Structure 1
Amino acid sequence: MTTTGQPQADCLFCKIVSGEVPATVVRETETTVAFRDINPQAPTHVLVIPKVHHRDAAALAAADPQIVADLLVEAGKVAADDKVDATGYRVVFNTGTGAGQTVFHAHAHVLGGRGLNWPPG
């Protein structure tokens, strides 16, 4: 899969960005889209994705560190909107199949609203 920043026809998240696939969008900026996970692992489980396609967080960071910063800013705003910023939340980037990445478009999971023990399951 490419990491060129160009939309990929077979990428679920690229299709969400383009509006081809519906999602419960909670925030959107010029560079990011944040939407509810369809299989939430916590009361707050929102994915924050870049509008440009890069395979994973490492590829995105190498290509455009400013967009990684945008993702983290939006993650904080998602937590504040869901009122989990005061009690605590987690931002997770899964990179590679061994880490649980199933959609190969960089994305951050924002999790909160329940105890989040470490290390995770």
Structure 2
Amino acid sequence: MNCKNIFMKIIKKKIKSKIIYQNKKVTAFEDIEPKSPIHILIVPNKIIKSTNKINKKNKHIIGTMTYVAIKIAKKLNFYKDGYRIVINCNKHGGQTIPHLHMHLLGGKILGNFC
């Protein structure tokens, strides 16, 4: 696996990070620049550069990431109050690291987005 990418370094534990959840397919860890009291990133353990790279072979990963987000929200007990799941895609979408990642945000009223 390519360890030049910061997410891959976290997945491989080459950079210390608070990992919340990890299995063979995904890793979830706290964002180092949180935008809410709870801000967790969920990433595939294999590099998929963006949602534009989702295809027939890897489409299951979005479901796995979403399932893990819900599991974490329940485990950390903020699922009843609510949360937001966000995936940014490419530069105009706000994606800054070329590795698919899902933001799980909660712990406060986030307000309307659209």
**Is 1:44–1:82's contact at 8 Å kept on the other side of the alignment?**
no
Q: Which residue of structure 2 lines up, in the alignment, with residue 17 of structure 1?
A: 11
1:46 counterpart SS class? strand
Q: Which residue of structure 2 lines up, in the alignment, with residue 3 of structure 1?
A: none
Counterpart amino acid of 1:30? K
TM, length-normalised to structure 2: 0.91
- Asked if 1:81 corresponds to 2:41, the answer is no
**Is 1:34–1:47's contact at 8 Å kept on the other side of the alignment?**
yes
Q: Which residue of structure 2 lines up, in the alignment, with residue 105 of structure 1?
A: 99
CA shift for structure 1 position 79: 1.0
Provide the rounded CA distance (Å) in 2 between the counterparts of 1:85 and 1:38. 22
Runs of 4+ residues deviating >3 angstroms: none
Gaps of 5+ in 2: none
The one of 46, 50, 53 equivalent to 1:56 is 50
- Asked if 1:34 corresponds to 2:28, the answer is yes
**Is 1:32–1:48's contact at 8 Å kept on the other side of the alignment?**
yes
2:33 counterpart SS class? coil
Counterpart amino acid of 1:113? G
CA shift for structure 1 position 110: 0.1
Gaps of 5+ in 1: 1-6
Provide the rounded CA distance (Å) in 1 between the counterparts of 2:51 and 2:13. 22
**Would you say how many aligned residue pairs link Structure 1 and Structure 2?**
113
TM, length-normalised to structure 1: 0.87
Q: Which residue of structure 2 lines up, in the alignment, with residue 115 of structure 1?
A: 109
CA shift for structure 1 position 67: 1.4
Provide the rounded CA distance (Å) in 2 between the counterparts of 1:28 and 1:111. 18
